[in-house]
Structure 1
Amino acid sequence: MKPQMTLRDATPDDLPFMLSLAPRLTSTAPAWRDQAQMTAGYEPLFRQALHEPEEGSAVLVAEGTEGQPLGFTLLYWHPTERGVFIKDLAVTADAEGSGVARFLMEAIERWSRSRGAVEIMLKTSWYNTRARSFYERVGFQADHVALVRRLD
């Protein structure tokens, strides 16, 4: 059964929740990436998004019936390109597979359309096959390929 959910704008009090999901955002990174460093990099990003957000950005939180946060998304609006970039989307391990990500994607689409967006873009790890499959099911198509060469 699908849980009942509500959507709200994030507040600075959501920082611990968002940080608790940072390891889920980096768990499928390739072995040559420093996962701990990547995860730690989310604190300043999330702190800025909550305390000093860029103009046109948003952090949206999906909550369950008891008010418990189930997932969130960090969005950036690019008015000159009329596009929205999904920087991050994560759900709790307990909520995985229960429709929270789809609920957030529907909210992202509404948010994007309300700004006159013509497209929504995101990036995910090539190795995150579960996320890639989900994004394809909700209508995303492959476009760019990013190749990385480390200069350590």
Structure 2
Amino acid sequence: MPHAPEYTLRAGTPDDLPFLTSLAPRLVATAPAWRDQGAMLAEYPPLFAQALHDPGDDSAVLVACCPLGRPLGFTLLYWHPHERGVFVKDLAVSEAAQGQGVGRFLMAAAEAWGRQRGAVELMLKTSWFNTHAREFYAHAGFREDHVALVRRLD
């Protein structure tokens, strides 16, 4: 097995906004056809800007970088102290870095971030139609728990 590159982890900064936004299409690519992907994409820049400019104690943007410092992926995390859990709001890896262990590296970082706060679980949501992500998370030890049902009101 080839040696995996050494990734570094750092907190996201406002300078990372273009990188995070560039990965937003990967986050909505498997949305069902009835979802408005344009509207979904439009929600990401302000969400990411707030997370990067005003990261309270209850949230973090963690960025995985290659040995030269180039960002490869990120995760946006929220701490829920009453549930003693970390919610993985988003996790995305650049297309060029996919399949190289960056997602696993970020999941380990999310777990460490949660453990530092006393978390007993990581939680996340992904599209039912995103079979690649569902397989990734199952391989990482996640189990299906809740089922979200959606009815559009327009």
Q: TM-score range by the shorter chain?
A: over 0.9
Instruction: Give the alignment's TM-score, normalised by structure 2.
Output: 0.96
Q: Which of 19, 33, 40 is matched with 2:21 structurally?
A: 19
Structure 1 residue runs of 4 or more that deviate by more than 4 Å after TM superposition: none
- State how far apart, in whole Å, the 2-side matches of 1:33 and 1:4 are: 38
Distance in 2 separating the partners of 1:44 and 1:13 = 14
Which segment drifts farther, 15-24 or 107-116?
107-116
Q: CA deviation at 1:4?
A: 1.8
Work out the CA distance in 2 between the residues paired with 1:16 and 1:131.
Answer: 23
1:100 aligned residue (99, 102, 105): 102
Count of matched residue pairs: 152
Question: Offset of 1:89 from its aligned partner?
Answer: 0.2
Question: Is there any run of 5+ residues in structure 2 with no aligned partner, and where?
Answer: none
Residue-by-residue CA offset, 1:118-146 (whole Å, 9 max, x unaligned): 11100000000000000000100000000
Structure 1 residue 81: Cα displacement: 1.0
Instruction: Find out whether 1:115 has 2:98 as its counterpart.
Output: no
Identity among equivalent pairs (%)? 69
Residues in 2 aligned to 1:58 and 1:122: alpha-carbon distance in whole angstroms: 15
Deviation (angstroms), 1:54: 3.7
For 1:54 and 1:126, the matched residues in 2 are separated by: 30
Q: Which residue does the alignment assign to 1:34? A: 36
- The alpha carbon displacement at 1:53 in A equals 2.4
Matched, 1:89 2:91: yes
Q: Which secondary structure does the structure 1 equivalent of 2:9 belong to?
A: strand
CA shift for structure 1 position 3: 2.3
Deviations 1:34-82 (A, max 9, x none): 1111011101100110112243100000000111100000000011111
**Larger displacement relative to structure 2 (36-45 or 53-62):** 53-62
- Cα distance, 1:151 vs structure 2: 0.7
Instruction: Please list every run of 5 or more consecutive structure 1 residues that lacks an aligned counterpart in the other structure.
Output: none
User: In structure 1, what is the Cα distance between the partners aligned to 2:97 and 2:150?
Assistant: 32
Q: What does residue range 57-96 of structure 1 map to in structure 2 within 5 Å?
A: 57-96=59-98
